[in-house]
Amino acid sequence: MTEQPTRRRPTLDEVAERAGVSRTAASRALNNAPNVSRDKREAVLRAIKELGYVPNPTARALATQQAGAVALIISGEDPAVLADPFYGQVIAGASTVLEETDLHLVLCLATSARGQIRVKQLLRTRAVDGVMLMSLRGDDPLTSLALAAGVPAVFGGKPLHGQVPYYVDVDNVLGARQATEHLISRGRTRIATLTGPLDTDVGRARRRGHLEALTLAGLPYRAEEAGDFTERGGMAAMEALLARHPDLDAVFAANDNMAAGALRVLGRAGRAVPADVAVIGFDGLAVSEITEPPLTTVHQPIRNIGREMTRMLLALMAGERPSPLILPTTLVQRDST
């Protein structure tokens, strides 16, 4: 039945005619704008129902000069970035906010040369009314591109270089400092860190917080290894760390994935956690609850990040000038420290 020659869908003109009013009036009734008498409004509504009329979003977009969509742009060198549940959470948060509007979410992975070009196009053609950008690396050209495009843009996490006016972030420095201070409070003195990529703001900020805590406590021990925020990368980094600093008694991993990897490596190496080595993570992802042992971690409200980015974008699109937002982190004590 669906194969029937797809009878052309009714237009607003037909609705107007059937209701015996002008197209203008029909449009007003449709959008329940003022200046339509009660009678006509009802007549139009009835006609709409009878005809099964559905407004054409493209035509509306052309007339109103609004795309009716916002984009979430995820950068990174590998399409596998999405394997990180982190983004899933952000997307979920964004979705819940967008559900309340009539904006669609277009997802762009700027993970290949081709992808970057597509994003550029998206920005230039103004195919969306606003964009959210995430996980930009050091001098990601997307940053300036987005800023220059004149499209409302909010960033998830500050880009490493360049100031951006609108962003949502968590206090990475403070969170990391709390993490390391927690380890210190447990009596650890040879505290190593598995950092994130150091060409990202989040990677550096967490490292900085860690170092601040060490300095403040007057601890001279320094040991670190860079990871890539994946569990696998965390394993490799932990192995390297263990080889170079076999005497470490605690590890601050810059995220839970890497912490989970570290736990495995420590387990295989025969180090008891937390007896021999205490481990703390960052994120508060589901994985942190089910590691062996359950992971103490610095929890960040990821879903909220998506939600707040979206709210900020909506505000921006509405002509407001929202302030950057720094979300708080909280230490969640479990069994690995």
The residue ranges that bind a second copy (CB under 8 A) are 2, 6, 9, 54-59, 61-62, 67-69, 72, 79-85, 87-89, 91-92, 95-96, 99-100, 102, 104-109, 111-112, 114-115, 118, 121-122, 124-127, 147-150, 230-232, 235, 261, 264, 267-268, 286-287, 289-290, 292
Cβ proximity of 133 and 75 under 8 Å: yes
Query: Please, what is the minimum distance in Å from the beta carbon of residue 140 to DNA?
Result: 29
d(C-alpha 77, C-alpha 112), whole Å: 7
Nearer to DNA, 62 or 286 (CB): 62
Residue 290 binding target from a second copy, DNA, none, CB below 5 to 8 Å by type: a second copy
Nearer to a second copy, 176 or 312 (CB): 312
Query: Please, what is the minimum distance in Å from the beta carbon of residue 261 to a second copy?
Result: 7
d(C-alpha 70, C-alpha 99), whole Å: 12
| Long-range contacts of residues 273-278, Cβ cutoff 8 Å, at least 24 apart | 273/336, 274/186, 274/335, 274/336, 274/337, 276/249, 277/248, 277/249, 277/250, 277/251, 278/183, 278/186, 278/188, 278/249, 278/250, 278/251, 278/336, 278/337
Q: Which one of the spans 20-28, 108-116, 197-205, 258-266 is the region binding DNA (CB under 7 A)?
A: 20-28
Q: Can you spell out the DSSP letters for 71-115?
A: EEEEE-S-GGGGGSHHHHHHHHHHHHHHHTTT-EEEEEEE-SHHH
**Binding DNA by CB under 7 A: which of 30, 69, 98, 260?**
30
d(C-alpha 259, C-alpha 247), whole Å: 18
User: Which residue, 314, 281, 310, is CA-closest to 92?
Assistant: 310
Query: Please, what is the minimum distance in Å from the beta carbon of residue 255 to a second copy?
Result: 15
Q: Is 12 in the site for DNA (CB under 7 A)?
A: yes
**Binding DNA by CB under 7 A: which of 1, 63, 275, 290?**
63
Residue 183 dihedral angles phi and psi, to the nearest 5°: -60, -40
Residue 147 binding target from DNA, a second copy, none, CB below 5 to 8 Å by type: a second copy
Nearer to DNA, 55 or 301 (CB): 55
Residue 132 CA: distances (Å) to CA of 28, 52, 66, 78, 275: 33, 36, 17, 19, 43
β-strand pairing of 296-299 with 330-332:
antiparallel
Q: Is 28 in the site for DNA (CB under 7 A)?
A: yes
Residue 85 binding target from DNA, a second copy, none, CB below 5 to 8 Å by type: a second copy
Query: Please, what is the minimum distance in Å from the beta carbon of residue 286 to DNA?
Result: 43
Identify the helix (H) or strand (E) that includes residue 193. Answer: strand 191-195
Residue 24 binding target from DNA, a second copy, none, CB below 5 to 8 Å by type: DNA
Contacts with DNA by CB under 7 A: the residue count is 31
Which residues lie near DNA (CB under 7 A)?
A: 8-9, 11-13, 21-25, 27-28, 30-31, 33-40, 53, 55-56, 59-60, 62-65
